[in-house]
Structure formats: C-alpha cells, structure tokens
Structure 1
Amino acid sequence: MTTLTLTPTAHARPVTDTLTMLRRNLLRAARYPGLTSFTLAIPVLLLLLFVFVFGGTIGAGVMPGVDPGADGRAAYLDYITPTILLFAVVGAAQSVAITAAMDATGGIMARFKTMAISPGSVLGGPVLGTVVQALVAVAVVLGLAVALGYRPGAGPLGWLALTGLLALVTFAFSWLCVAMGLSARSVETASNTPMILTALPFLSSGFVPVETMPAGVRWFAEHQPFTPIIETTRSLLTGASPDVSTTLQAVGWCVLVGAVGYARSRSLYRRERR
C-alpha cells in the first residue's frame, strides 16, 4: 500500500491536500508498473499494428493519389498518429477508474473521510496525477511516431494549444472514469466499465474519414466526442489553423463530460458504500 503522510488539522487545506494526493497517485503509478505500462502498451501496439499491417492499403485509400505499400504506410502514419495519441489519453483515464475502485473497496477512502482532508483533494489529486501520466504517455507515443517517420508541422503556439487540449481531454474523461470506478462493486468491474471509451475512437474519423461510412454510422461518428477532438488534434499537429466550430465542439464535449463526471464522482464519494 502506498505510504501517505497527512497531518490532521482543524481545517482542511485544499491546495496542500490536493498536492499530497497528487504525489500519492504518482508514487502509486511508480510502484505498480503493470498498471502504468497499460497506458503505453495499447497505443504503441495499435500504432505499430495499423501502420505496418494495415497502413500500406488503408493509407492509399485515405490519401488519394498515394500508392499502396511504403507510400501508403507513410500517409497512414500521418493520418492515424493523432488518433493514437487519444488512445494514450483514454488509457490513462481508464487507470484512474481502477485506482478509485481500489481505494473505495479497500476502505482507505472511508478512512480519508474521517481525517481533516479536503474532500475534493481525495478525488482531484488522482485526476491531476492522471493528467501528468497521460501527457508523459503522449510524449512517448509521439516520439515513437516521429521515429517511424512522422513529421508534425506544429509551431510553438500549436504545441502549446495541443498540450492544453490533451490535458483538458484527460481531465474531463478522468472525472468520468473516477465516477465509473466509484460506482463499481469490484476492481475487476472498474477495469472493464471504461472499455467503452476505447470503442468510440474506432467509430470516429480517427481511422478513416467519416465520409466513407454508411449513413447511420456516419451520423454517429459526426456527433460523438472523439471526432471533433481528433480533428482538432490533427489540425494542431499539422500546423494548420483548426476549424473554429470543430474546436468549440471538442471543448464543449470536454466541459460536458467533465462536469457530468465530476458531479457524479462527488455524489458517489459522499454516499456511504455498502
């Protein structure tokens, strides 16, 4: 169990307590490398699989005028890299569902309620820790993509905006996964419930353009959170100015998901666990 030192005081200290819980989350990530490596393993495997196995053919279909084979793989690497970065974010968010369930089922969260700790820090610290882990995972996956031949064209402002967007996406979906973890009856359930988030990028513009999809699937792809998020990420990485409407949709989805997840998490935290 992660060692945690907290000094009871008459009044909770939100900032200090949140930093303490953030440190606890990062220490646990270091002490449970199996859980941490899951954040990296899935996006790395997906990147290698789709580029080297499917990329030669799909890339030629995604990019008109590109021949199958090496040119197709290079084209598909450019197309799919932004999507794989989102898988790193989703993987990190899934891990916080597991840690939330571990704390809830193990009784340590009930113990925190009896201590002079800011209630928001018990949940907020792990969420902030997840943002840190996700950004590190994104950097590793992006480094691999560059090693494979990907060449982003983002400038300094584009990188700053991209970092902010990915941090916002992680923050929002981490709150949703915290709620899933707190509502789960076991750690095993908590590890499975967020799996729906890994399905959504496949039903978006992440792997193929939505224009190539059947009408019903296309409608869903155009009206779910990951399509505007991926399109905005793709534009920022290429150095192009993102479409304003698409960017607003991406931010709006993050605000909505984060607000719902936060409200549900706080409600579950206050509720007595049976």
Structure 2
Amino acid sequence: MHHDGLGAAVSDVATLIDRSVRLTRRNVDTLFVSILLPLLMMSLFVYVFGGAIETGTQYITYVVPGILLLTTGYGASNTAMAVADDMNSGMIDRLRSLPIRSFAVLTGHVTASVARNAISTAIVILASLAMGFEPNASPGEWVAAIGLLLLYVLALSWLAAALGVIAKSVESASALSFFMLFLPYLSSAFVQPETMPAFLRPISEHQPITPVIETVRSLLTGTPLGDSGWIALVWCTGLLAVSITAATVLYRRRMSR
C-alpha cells in the first residue's frame, strides 16, 4: 500500500485518535475521577470555605473560573499517564514496524484529552449553574471564554504528552504532572492574590494560570480585564508552541533508540 501524502497522514491521526478515545471509554474510572474531583472541590470551596472567604462578590461567582482550569489540569495529567503507558508497555515497539507517522500517536492522545476536557468542563459549568453561578456574559463573551479555555487545554495537553514521553513509568508521569494540578492553588483561583502573604503574592500574580483565570472571570462575570487578556493569550500560545516542539522532538528521540 502506498502510504504517503496528506491523506495517509490524516488516516494515521484519525486511527490513533479513535484508539485513544476507545481507551478513554474503557477507562471509565479515570474519566469519572477527572469529573468528580473538580465537582467535589467546587462543592468544598463554595459550601465549606466560601462563607469565610471575602472576594467582594458571591463566592461561587469568583471561584468557578478557577475550578474550570483545575478541571483541565486533572484531564491533562491523565494524558501524561496514557502517553507514558504507551511509551513503556511495548506499544511504541510495535509502531516502529508500521508505516505510521510519529506525530500521529501524540496527536491521538492530545485530541482525546481535549474531548475529555470538553465533556468534564461542560459538566462543571452545568453543575455551577445549578449551585447558583450567575454569569452575565453575552454569547460573544461565552465564545471567547470557551476559546481561551480550549487554547489552554490544548497547550496543557501537549505539555502533558511531552512529560509522558520522558517518564519512565505511569507512576512517574503522574508525579511529573503534579505541578499542573498544584499551580492553580497558587493563583487567583480561590482567593485574591492581595490577601496572600507577601512572599506568595508575586508568584500568584506573575504565573501563567492567573491571567487565564482573570480573563475567563472577566468574560463570564464582567470583572475588569486590564492586561490579563493579551497576557493569557501570550502564555497559552507560547506554552502550546514550546510543548508541541518538545513533545515531538522527545518522541522522535525515544523512537530512534
């Protein structure tokens, strides 16, 4: 079979996307946890801590954008583990003997990750509305917020894929991706940065997740946007470019061993 050209590349990617989606469907507990954990976190912060945290608005209105980014972090960490499983289970050795383009494997995992994240994000948004979240966004602002979240998910998923390639096991991939789950806690997701101790405030204000959260918050609830919009775009676009490059280079290097 003549296996080159754009059509063959698309076929390779489609086949491996289908494989990754089927793996997700079989691994229901992972999908369930990636949805359940953010819902539990949102319930915990809204119903347990919310009354003690002053943000100048209803706490659920403040916290939902942060929970949305936390959700994507859980989804991306699953991607790192799925890639690591492929890299260390003999799957890659089987692919070496097939005329399949190297980028198709990672693209399959990333696409499945984006699909999983879209489902879990939609569920979190619906749950937040049921819990009293009242966004005042126009249709255009909803599209902009979802577009930014999609760009962020894409960047984070490619970063997770790169971490999965270099991980020596599924467990080490989980450990490597821990910072993706931890970073939102040091952002403006749950409390305003100015309420933090002086040594933490610069970390919260100048890390990549805070401008993304502030932009989503501004689009959905009408808080002042300031410079957050373009800073969030620069961070997400830069992270996406670096992550795709790193994942591709590391994968090719691993495949050539």
Superposition TM-score tier, normalisation by shorter sequence: over 0.9
Aligned to 2:172: 189
When structure 1 is superposed on structure 2, of 89-98 and 231-240 the one drifting more is: 231-240
Aligned to 1:255: 237
Aligned to 2:48: 53
Cα RMSD (Å): 1.7
Assess, with a 3 A threshold, how the Cα gap between structure 1 residues 241 and 161 changes in structure 2: closer, same or farther: farther
Q: What is the alpha-carbon distance in structure 1 between the residues aligned to residue 235 and residue 15 of structure 2?
A: 30
Aligned to 1:235: 218
Q: How does 1:1-274 map to 2 (within 5 A)?
A: 9-11=2-4, 13-58=8-53, 61-63=54-56, 75-239=58-222, 242-243=225-226, 245-272=227-254
CA deviation vs aligned residue, 1:30-82 (integer Å, no higher than 9, x gap): 10011111211221110011111111111xx2227xxxxxxxxxx11111011
Q: What is the alpha-carbon distance in structure 1 between the residues aligned to residue 100 and residue 223 of structure 2?
A: 45
Q: What amino acid is the match of 1:15?
A: V
Residue 10 of structure 1: SS of its match in structure 2? Answer: coil
Shift of 1:240: 5.9
When structure 1 is superposed on structure 2, of 180-189 and 261-270 the one drifting more is: 261-270
Residue 271 of structure 1: SS of its match in structure 2? Answer: helix
Aligned to 1:67: none
Structure 1 runs not aligned, ≥5 long? 1-7, 65-74
Residue 157 of structure 2: SS of its match in structure 1? Answer: helix
Q: Which has the higher contact order (CA 8 A, sep 6+)?
A: 2
Shift of 1:14: 2.1
Assess, with a 3 A threshold, how the Cα gap between structure 1 residues 119 and 147 changes in structure 2: closer, same or farther: same
Shift of 1:257: 1.7
Q: What is the alpha-carbon distance in structure 2 between the residues aligned to residue 185 and residue 116 of structure 1?
A: 25
When structure 1 is superposed on structure 2, of 9-18 and 149-158 the one drifting more is: 9-18
Q: What is the alpha-carbon distance in structure 2 between the residues aligned to residue 111 and residue 241 of structure 1?
A: 53
Residue 215 of structure 1: SS of its match in structure 2? Answer: coil
Is 1:176–1:258's contact at 8 Å kept on the other side of the alignment?
A: yes
Residue 115 of structure 1: SS of its match in structure 2? Answer: coil
CA deviation vs aligned residue, 1:17-36 (integer Å, no higher than 9, x gap): 22222221111111001111
Shift of 1:265: 1.1
Is 1:42–1:87's contact at 8 Å kept on the other side of the alignment?
A: no
Q: What is the alpha-carbon distance in structure 2 between the residues aligned to residue 190 and residue 182 of structure 1?
A: 9
When structure 1 is superposed on structure 2, of 88-97 and 119-128 the one drifting more is: 119-128
Shift of 1:260: 2.1
Q: What is the alpha-carbon distance in structure 2 between the residues aligned to residue 110 and residue 93 of structure 1?
A: 24
Identity %: 38
Shift of 1:239: 4.7
Q: What amino acid is the match of 2:115?
A: V
CA deviation vs aligned residue, 1:103-156 (integer Å, no higher than 9, x gap): 000111232233122222111121112111111111100111111111111111
Q: What amino acid is the match of 2:79?
A: V
CA deviation vs aligned residue, 1:146-199 (integer Å, no higher than 9, x gap): 111111111111111112111100100111111111111111111221111111
Residue 272 of structure 1: SS of its match in structure 2? Answer: helix
Assess, with a 3 A threshold, how the Cα gap between structure 1 residues 249 and 103 changes in structure 2: closer, same or farther: same
Q: What is the alpha-carbon distance in structure 2 between the residues aligned to residue 141 and residue 177 of structure 1?
A: 22
TM-score for the superposition, normalised by structure 1 = 0.88
